[in-house]
Amino acid sequence: MSTQPSFSTLPLPPATLANLEQLGYTGMTPIQAAALPLALAGHDLIAQAKTGSGKTAAFSLALLANLNVRRFAVQALVLCPTRELADQVTLEVRRLARAEDHIKVLTLCGGAVMRTQTASLEHGAHIVVGTPGRIMDHLERGSLKLDALNTLVLDEADRMLDMGFFDDIATVVKQCPKQRQTLLFSATYPEGIAKLSAAFMREPKEVKLMQQHAATKIRQRFYEVKESERLHAVSLLLNHYRPVSTLAFCNTKQQCRDLVQVLRGQGFAALELHGDLDQRERDQVMVRFANRSCSVLVATDIAARGLDIAGLEAVINVDIAADVDTHTHRIGRTGRVDEEGWAFSLASMDEMGRVGNIEKAGGFTSEWQPLSSLTSTAGGPLKPPMQTIQILGGRKEKIRAGDVLGALTKDLGFAGAQIGKINVNEFSTYVAVESGIAAQVVKKLSAGKVKGRSVKLRLLES
């Protein structure tokens, strides 16, 4: 029996409640139970809750309740810090909007072609999700009109402030109608949040869910290392605990590159994510990590902003984070919703002061283990369960995920269970397949067809 309060206690239409049930929403998470009654009553809201707590559904249901589907104009705007987060929010809004026919949701972020976005805007939209810079570009060009807006959402507002978006947000908000509802969601509460709310919100209600991740959800372990042992210690952790999916944080781009080189040299499928990657490379890395064809993603904090990876088993702090908030953000990527996760931190003597600050803020005493306790288990180097095949051709060629799945299962006879996530981007399609059949799939699909056409493809290897 779920002890979570039911969505049926809220003033939501029967079609929305039926859709929530179909999507497997059994009851409200604490942030939904606290925020939704206030948001649905029309109040401005500042909600503080950790990432992965169900906040996207909280603001999505509120903005959908304010929507007049027959009015084909932008009525809701969601500002996000990164393109990845904007994509995730768009997917969630679309899922929750299924109860109503013909709700159009558009994503407007940098890294995508401006012309294509302008053309989409000409066809109209009800809801726009995007990053501040790109939204500002469209407002300046006049391709985005906000005069019909009734709901503004600032998602992960603390991260947007960290990334220096205060002025951009201010520019966007000034173009929104005064009579609107503003919902601000944030994992932490830096002073910039108070400044934002004072400038742009009307008597906001505050909801603060300060509960940390339950101790049983994220198990933290610390290992003392000498500088010369640090990179090798990462492979010791991976071979000992053997997590399927690990996010390793480094404080510099160079440390990311060095670690990836060390891990690949030892047979791990590792990829790097940092500011020197262009958007296409970044998208490809994210697809491969999310579809489980890469065991370890080595990232800097800025590059990993907005990432929300389901089923992340472990986070490794290769370097100790510069401040407590960053450490909390890092380890909060694992142990999401009802899953458990590991957070391992490698600390040299020079970093003990930072570890002390983390303990003090978290109210715990670190659990220290010696590196010598890490032993390699049988089974050879850790290998990812999936591999990714890139098909040259995507939305531009009208390829859909169903076309690819049909070609692999109906035409070529592979089992549906052997095929993982299929991501269709503008010019490329990425298909995750079980590692054991990857070579076979490449061979058969190269000789076969997708949507009646031959395709060019390649196996992506770390």
Q: What is the pLDDT of residue 3?
A: 61
- How many C-beta atoms lie closer than 10 Å to residue 222's C-beta? 21
The token pair at 204 is 């906001």
The SS3 assignment for 1 reads coil
Mean pLDDT by 10 residues, the chain (462 residues): 76 91 86 94 89 84 93 95 88 89 90 87 93 93 95 92 85 94 88 85 85 62 94 94 93 96 94 89 90 94 72 92 88 73 94 92 85 78 91 88 89 90 89 94 92 90 78
Can you list the alpha helix ranges (DSSP code H) found in 337-376?
352-362
The whole-model pTM stands at 0.61
Q: What is the pLDDT of residue 306?
A: 63
Q: What is the pLDDT of residue 52?
A: 66
- How many C-beta atoms lie closer than 10 Å to residue 460's C-beta? 17
Beta-sheet strand order (sheet of 386-392): 419-424, 428-434, 386-392, 457-460
Q: What is the pLDDT of residue 216?
A: 47
Residue with tokens 């409200």: 28
Residue with tokens 């066809």: 123
The token pair at 387 is 């591999």
Q: What is the pLDDT of residue 4?
A: 75
Residue type for position 378: A
Q: What is the pLDDT of residue 212?
A: 47
The token pair at 157 is 């507002």
Q: What is the pLDDT of residue 248?
A: 97
- Would you list the DSSP string of 178-212? SS-EEEEEESS--HHHHHHHHHH-SS-EEEE--PP
